[in-house]
Structure 1
Amino acid sequence: MSEPRLSIIPGWIVTDPRLKGKDLQVLCMLGRNANTRHGWCRRSQVQLAKALDCSRSTVQAAINRLVDIGALERREVVSSSGRDSAHWYRVIYDSKVESSAFDAWDAEDEKEFDPTSDFGSDAPPAGIPAPPADPESAPPAGSGPAPINASTLTPPDKREERERERGSENQEEDPAVIERGFKRFFHGWKTAISDSEPDARRVWLMLSAEKRAKAEAKSADYQAAALSTGRKHLCSAATYLREERWEKLQETTAAAASAAPEAYSAYSRAGRGLLLAELMRPERYLQLTILEEVIVRDKPEKRDLIWRDKREKQGWPEAVRLIETTVQRRKFNVPQRIVDASQGFDKVKVGGEVWEAWKRLHHARCWPWLPAPDGLEWMQFPRLSPDIEDIDEACEHALSDFKNAIGMERDNDDAA
Structure 2
Amino acid sequence: MLAVRLADFADDDGKGIWPTVARLSRETELSERQVQRILAEFVDEGLLVVKSRGGSKPGEATRYDFSMSAIARLKDPKAKSEGCHGVTHDTESPTTPAAAMGDTDDADGCHHVTQTVIEPPVEPSDLREGAREGFSEECQTETSGSIERSFRRWMPSWPTYVGDSVDAARSAWVALSPEERVAAEARTADYLDAAKVGGRKTICSMAVYLREKRWEKLPAKPAAAQGPKLAGPFGKLWMATRLADLFRKPYGTGIELNQFERRLADKIQQLITSGAEVPADLTKMELSMLADGNPVGYLMRDKVLRHGWPLVNEMQARASEAKGYPCPQDLMPYAEAFQQVPREGELFSAWKAEHSRRGWPFFSEGRLPEWIWFPPLITMDGGGLDVSAALDHFHHQISDYLAARGRGHDNAA
Bin of the TM-score, shorter chain as denominator length: 0.3 to 0.5
Q: Larger radius of gyration, structure 1 or 2?
A: 2
TM-score (norm 1): 0.36
TM-score (norm 2): 0.36
